[in-house]
Amino acid sequence: MARQASRLIRSLSSQLSPLSSLSSSSSSQFLTQSRAFSAAPAPQPTVFVDNNTLVICQGITGKNGTFHTEQAIEYGTKMVGGVTPKKGGTEHLGLPVFNSVAEAKAETKDNASVIYVPPPFAAAAIMEAMEAKLDLVVCITEGIPQHDMIGGTAEEDAAALIKESGTEKSIVAFIAGLTAPLGRHMGHAGAIVSGGKGMAQDKIKTLREAGVTVVESPAKIGAAMHDVFKQSGLLN
């Protein structure tokens, strides 16, 4: 992939007209713009990855994990190991393989993970990396099963847990399905609102009683989080 990108850049560069072929006015304008761009401060990256980033690959022994790990090593990424359950203690591509992210972190001191596992197991892999408190987790798996459909009592259960825990952490939620008709299947066979349970209005009421801030639209989540952080003294 890196070699292909380099060839593409060289190809595009060779097709550009040399600066000397520009008119004097165009040349002057080009140079002025170039100086302005070069003088402008470079934007700060939102995710910091550098030569000191130590990366593991979850699913390293699979087809995609093997391919991308090879590419990463060739590019210069500091790959320090991989994770494949039940294959801990072995080696793959010259890297140690561990049974869990926690084991890999304890041994390699990695602080980032790339995930190449099948859709049914991708969410669990992401959660495992988060629980190991890695700084960066990247997953490009497509088709991860959704478990946040309408219906069910998961939100009511979460509200009960919030109350029982006594947590002071600020929580913002959005509940979809306010317009879902009672008893109608939506999305998949399991997504159904049954009488007396799973209705969006009940979920919203229960969560608010547990101290959760509930918004009416996903677009309002960011602003709501900002407000509750200010109220909690986490922001000035």
Strand segments, DSSP code E, in 59-162 are 79-83, 91-92, 95-98, 112-115, 136-139
188 catalytic per annotation: yes
Query: What are the distances in angstroms from CA 34 to CA 16, 20, 23, 28, 40?
Result: 16, 15, 16, 10, 10
Does residue 134 sit in helix, strand or coil? Answer: coil
Strand segments, DSSP code E, in 8-146 are 55-58, 79-83, 91-92, 95-98, 112-115, 136-139
Does residue 103 sit in helix, strand or coil? Answer: helix
Question: Which helix (H) or strand (E) covers residue 47, if one does?
Answer: none
Q: Considering only CA atoms, which of 197, 228, 232 is closest in space to residue 212?
A: 228
Catalytic one among 68, 92, 185, 188?
Answer: 188
Residue keyed to tokens 């080696």: 91
Q: Which amino acids are annotated catalytic?
A: 188
